[in-house]
C-alpha cells in the first residue's frame, strides 16, 4: 500500500506514532516535504536516518522549504519506480522534482520545493537554501515529463499547492495572501493536466479542500490504488455509461489535436478542457508563471463556479454577492 503524510520537521515522536507502527513490509510512505531529518548532520539525525533505512517498509520524501539541500544532494542519484531519486538509505529515498513514479500501475507526479516566509533575514547555505524555490529549468523539466504522459497522471504530490487553493486557505485563516511562481506553475499544471487527486503539505492542516485537493499534515492517508484514471477521447464517448472501469492511463491514446476535451468519470459529467497547444517548456514564460496581483475582492470574483461549490461549505468563505430576492 501507498500512504502520504505531511511535514515532519525532524520530529522523532512521529516515527513511533501508532499509525506508523501499522506499516508493513512492502508499504510505501511518502512525506510531502519538510522531512527535517537531514538538517544539522548530528548523531541524533544519523540515528533517525539509520532507523528509517532499516524499516521493512519504504520511506520517500519530497523536499520542502526547511531542508538542508547540501546533505540531500550527498545521496546517490539513481532511479526508483521509473523516476530519479537521491538514495539516502536502503529504504529511504528523496523523490526529485518533476518526476513521474509508477507504483503498481499507478502514476505519481512529484514536485517538491517552496519559498520560506523568512528568507529575507537569512543567507544562503546558513539554514536556508536558495534552491528551495525551483527555477524555470526545473519547471520546464516537470512540464516535459507531463507532456510525455499526455498530461494525464493518477496523483500529483507536492509540498506547495496551486495558487487558488493556497489563496483560499490563507483567506480562510485570515492570513496574508502570499503566492509565488511555483504556485503559479502548479496552477498551470492543475488547469492543463488531468489527475485523480492532488495531495500537498506546507500549510500544516489535515483537511480535504475539495474533491480534488487535500492538505496533509499529521495524518497518514492511504492512497486508493484499486482504481486507475480513465480518459477517453470525447469524440469516442457518446455518454459516461460507455466508459469501462479499470483502464489504465497508458492503455488509452490521448491526443490534444483530435479532441477538445476529456470526460473524467470520477468528476461526474464535468468536462476538462484541453488546449490544442501542448503543455511544454516553451509555454513556461515569465508572464504566465508570475502570480497575478489582485485585491481580495477580485480574487473572490475570479473563482469559477466549480471551485465555488466545493470551497464554500468547507471553508466558510462567501465568494461573490448573494442574489437579491425578486421584488413582488
pLDDT in tens, 21-74: 999 999 999 999 999 999 888 999 999 999 999 999 999 999 998 788 899 999
pLDDT at 194: 95
Torsion sign, CA atoms 3, 148, 113, 43:
positive
Q: Shortest CA distance to 37 belongs to which of 76, 77, 88, 84?
A: 88
- Total Cβ atoms within 10 A of residue 188: 19
Residues 93, 85 contacting (CB under 8 angstroms)? yes
Hey, which residues does 103 pair with through a beta bridge? 106
pLDDT at 64: 92
pLDDT at 285: 52
pLDDT at 144: 96
Domains of the chain are 2-222 (3.60.21), 232-283 (no CATH)
Q: Report d(CA 166, CA 147) in Å as an integer.
A: 25
pLDDT tens digits for the chain (328 residues)? 999 999 999 999 999 899 999 999 999 999 999 999 998 889 999 999 999 999 999 999 999 987 888 999 999 999 999 999 999 999 999 999 999 999 999 999 999 999 876 555 455 555 656 778 899 999 999 999 999 999 999 999 999 999 999 999 998 888 888 899 999 999 999 999 999 999 999 999 999 999 999 999 999 999 999 766 445 433 333 343 333 333 333 333 333 333 333 333 333 333 333 333 345 555 555 555 555 455 544 544 444 444 444 444 444 433 333 344 444 4
Q: Report d(CA 310, CA 229) in Å as an integer.
A: 21
Annotate 79-113 with b (16+ C-beta within 10 A) or e (fewer). Answer: ebbebbbbbbbebbbbbbbbbbbbbeebbbbbbbb
Place of cell 490563507: 170
When computed from its CA atoms, the radius of gyration of the chain, rounded to whole angstroms, is 20
pLDDT at 205: 95
Q: Report d(CA 88, CA 71) in Å as an integer.
A: 9
Is 262 in a helix, a strand, or coil?
A: strand
Q: Are strands 221-222 and 2-5 parallel, antiparallel or unpaired?
A: antiparallel
Q: Shortest CA distance to 95 belongs to which of 113, 114, 116, 70?
A: 113
pLDDT at 129: 62
Q: All 3 cell numbers of residue 240?
A: 459516461
The DSSP result for 87-148, as a single string, is EEETTEEEEPTTEEEEETTEEEEEE-----TTGGG--TTSS--GGGS--HHHHHHHHHHHHH
Amino acid at each position: 500500500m501507498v500512504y502520504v503524510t505531511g511535514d515532519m520537521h525532524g520530529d522523532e515522536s512521529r516515527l513511533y506514532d501508532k499509525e506508523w507502527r501499522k506499516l508493513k513490509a512492502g508499504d510505501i510512505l511518502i512525506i510531502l516535504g519538510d522531512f527535517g531529518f537531514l538538517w544539522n548532520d548530528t548523531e541524533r539525525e544519523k540515528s533517525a536516518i539509520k532507523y528509517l533505512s532499516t524499516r521493512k517498509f519504504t520511506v520517500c520524501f519530497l523536499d520542502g522549504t526547511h531542508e538542508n539541500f547540501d546533505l540531500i544532494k550527498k545521496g546517490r542519484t539513481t532511479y526508483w519506480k521509473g523516476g530519479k531519486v537521491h538514495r539516502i538509505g536502503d529504504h529511504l529515498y528523496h523523490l526529485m522534482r518533476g518526476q513521474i513514479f509508477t507504483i503498481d500501475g499507478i502514476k505519481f507526479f512529484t514536485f517538491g520545493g517552496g519559498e520560506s516566509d523568512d528568507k529575507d533575514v537569512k543567507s544562503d547555505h546558513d539554514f536556508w537554501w536558495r534552491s528551495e524555490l525551483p527555477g524555470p529549468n526545473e519547471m520546464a523539466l516537470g512540464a516535459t515529463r507531463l507532456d510525455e504522459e499526455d498530461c494525464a497522471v493518477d496523483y500529483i504530490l507536492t509540498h506547495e499547492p496551486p495558487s487558488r487553493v493556497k489563496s483560499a486557505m490563507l483567506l480562510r485563516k485570515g492570513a496574508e495572501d502570499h503566492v509565488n511562481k511555483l504556485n503559479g506553475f502548479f496552477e498551470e499544471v492543475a488547469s492543463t493536466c488531468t489527475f485523480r487527486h492532488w495531495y500537498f503539505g506546507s500549510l500544516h492542516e489535515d483537511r480535504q479542500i475539495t474533491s480534488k485537493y487535500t492538505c496533509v499534515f499529521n495524518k497518514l492517508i492511504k492512497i486508493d490504488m484499486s482504481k486507475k484514471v480513465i480518459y477517453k477521447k470525447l469524440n469516442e464517448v457518446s455518454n459516461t455509461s460507455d466508459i469501462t472501469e479499470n483502464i489504465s492511463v497508458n492503455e488509452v491514446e490521448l491526443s490534444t489535436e483530435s479532441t477538445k476535451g476529456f470526460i473524467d468519470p470520477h468528476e461526474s459529467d464535468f468536462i476538462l478542457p484541453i488546449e490544442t497547444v501542448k503543455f511544454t517548456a516553451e509555454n513556461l514564460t515569465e508572464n504566465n508563471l508570475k502570480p497575478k496581483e489582485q485585491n481580495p475582492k477580485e480574487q473572490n470574483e475570479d473563482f469559477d463556479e466549480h471551485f465555488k461549490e466545493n470551497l464554500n461549505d468547507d471553508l466558510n468563505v462567501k465568494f461573490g454577492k448573494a442574489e437579491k430576492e425578486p421584488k413582488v
